[in-house]
């Protein structure tokens, strides 16, 4: 188990370090500011959030160790089986109720074998109770026990579900490299930095009427995006994700950008650049970069 530092505490810490050089008055301001914050935000001390660590044995139920996402599919089965139990209890259909509760119990009992570290999280006596009540045909009791079991599901999900999804099922770009014409294979991050340089170069140069520079940067950006586009199929076997971000609509935007640069139109250039940055960079970032950042932060 490990806890994440509050960002503001980091900030105050960083500020205090700087003050040793800048003198006492600044330091005093920082202290005052800190006390003010403490006064105005009485709940601040409780803002620390503890993040549970995922048990090691979960790894074996996911790619790349496993061929399938076994844990996730066991979960889908549990939810389906619970729904069937609930519906057949309401219909008072005992044979079908038995069929689904047997499946459910078998799957649930696999959980502590799959991840022994989670033994404590699992209320196995409720499962035994469910079994007894189903065999007695006590439909009302079955429904009540099911409600308690579903609280057990939620308790574990609160702590671990999002973490496991980020850890095991989000794209990992650390192994992806981009073929750059000049520099050979470069890391994803370095390619991103280069994209960002060209975007800003277009903006700076067009604002200052250095149209040749702007044009060169726009051409550079196009080449870089083409190189980036070739890497999508490492993970995406289908075209649509690529098309959505880098397809004809984006190509047209880049054409229009080149046009406004060619016509020496600073305002229109800024507008086209903004549109391209949103529909190409920001849209991909909302899927891939944010999750990638969270993944790095939680699982360095």
Torsional sign, CA 269, 287, 193, 11? positive
Smallest separation, CB 224 to ligand HEC (Å): 7
Smallest separation, CB 93 to ligand HEC (Å): 21
Closest to 71 (Cα-Cα) out of 85, 52, 55, 87: 55
Nearer to ligand HEC, 30 or 254 (CB): 254
160 is an interface residue for ligand HEC by CB under 6 A: yes
Buried b (16+ CB within 10 A) or exposed e, 121-150: ebbeebbebbbebbeeeebebbeebbeebe
258 is an interface residue for ligand HEC by CB under 6 A: no
164 is an interface residue for ligand HEC by CB under 6 A: yes
Q: How many CB atoms are closer than 10 A to CB 115? A: 21
Q: Which of 189, 251, 259, 297 touches ligand HEC by CB under 6 A? A: 189
Q: Which of 152, 213, 215, 227 touches ligand HEC by CB under 6 A? A: 152
Nearer to ligand HEC, 19 or 152 (CB): 152
Tell me the two tokens of residue 79. Answer: 């939810």
Nearer to ligand HEC, 30 or 218 (CB): 218
Q: Which of 59, 118, 219, 298 touches ligand HEC by CB under 6 A? A: 118
Torsional sign, CA 44, 46, 52, 53? positive
Q: Which of 199, 217, 254, 257 touches ligand HEC by CB under 6 A? A: 199
Task: Measure the CA–CA gap between 18 and 12, rounded to whole angstroms.
Answer: 10
Task: Measure the CA–CA gap between 67 and 75, rounded to whole angstroms.
Answer: 17
Task: Measure the CA–CA gap between 130 and 97, rounded to whole angstroms.
Answer: 11
Q: Which of 193, 262, 264, 267 touches ligand HEC by CB under 6 A? A: 193
Q: Which of 14, 28, 76, 262 touches ligand HEC by CB under 6 A? A: 76
Q: Can you tell me which residue has the tokens 């999002």?
A: 162
**What mask, x for binding ligand HEC by CB under 6 A, covers residues 209 to 248?**
-------------------xx-xx-xxx---xxx-xxx--
Q: Which of 34, 156, 270, 294 touches ligand HEC by CB under 6 A? A: 156
94 is an interface residue for ligand HEC by CB under 6 A: no
Smallest separation, CB 13 to ligand HEC (Å): 23
Inter-CA distances, 73 with 70, 79, 151, 164, 248, Å: 5, 10, 20, 13, 37
Q: Note whether 198 and 220 are within 8 A (CB).
A: yes
Tell me the two tokens of residue 67. Answer: 């061929």
Task: Measure the CA–CA gap between 242 and 103, rounded to whole angstroms.
Answer: 41
Q: Which residues lie below 8 Å from residue 72, measured CB to CB, with a gap of 6+?
A: 62, 169
284 is an interface residue for ligand HEC by CB under 6 A: yes
Q: Which of 93, 121, 256, 275 touches ligand HEC by CB under 6 A? A: 121
91 is an interface residue for ligand HEC by CB under 6 A: no
The residue ranges that bind ligand HEC (CB under 6 A) are: 71-72, 75-76, 78-79, 82, 118, 121-122, 149, 152-153, 156-157, 160-161, 164-165, 168-169, 171-174, 176, 188-189, 192-193, 195-196, 199, 228-229, 231-232, 234-236, 240-242, 244-246, 280-281, 284-285, 287-289, 292, 296
């Amino acid at each position: 188990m490990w806890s994440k530092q509050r960002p503001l505490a980091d900030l105050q810490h960083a500020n205090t370090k700087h003050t040793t050089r800048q003198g006492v008055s600044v330091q005093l301001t920082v202290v005052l500011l800190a006390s003010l914050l403490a006064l105005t935000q009485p709940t601040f001390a409780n803002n620390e959030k503890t993040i549970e660590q995922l048990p090691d044995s979960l790894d074996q139920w996911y790619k790349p160790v496993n061929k399938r996402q076994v844990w996730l599919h066991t979960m889908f089965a549990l939810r389906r089986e619970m729904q069937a139990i609930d519906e057949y209890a309401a219909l008072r259909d005992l044979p079908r109720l038995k069929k689904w509760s047997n499946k459910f119990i078998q799957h649930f009992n696999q959980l502590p074998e799959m991840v022994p570290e989670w033994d404590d999280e699992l209320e196995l006596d409720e499962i035994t109770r469910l079994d007894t009540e189903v065999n007695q045909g006590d439909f009302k009791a079955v429904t009540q026990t099911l409600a308690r079991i579903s609280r057990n599901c939620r308790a574990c999900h609160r702590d671990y579900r999002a973490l496991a999804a980020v850890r095991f099922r989000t794209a990992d770009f650390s192994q992806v490299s981009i073929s750059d014409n000049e520099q050979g294979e470069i890391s994803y991050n370095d390619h991103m930095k280069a994209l960002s340089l060209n975007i800003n170069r277009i903006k700076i140069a067009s604002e200052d009427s250095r149209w040749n520079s702007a044009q060169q940067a726009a051409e550079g950006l196009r080449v870089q995006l083409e190189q980036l586009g070739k890497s999508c199929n490492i993970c995406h076997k289908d075209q649509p994700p690529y098309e959505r971000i880098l397809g004809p609509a984006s190509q047209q935007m880049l054409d229009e950008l080149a046009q406004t640069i060619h016509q020496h139109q600073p305002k229109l250039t800024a507008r086209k650049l903004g549109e391209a940055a949103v529909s190409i960079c920001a849209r991909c970032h909302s899927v891939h970069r944010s999750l990638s950042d969270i993944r790095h932060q939680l699982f360095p």
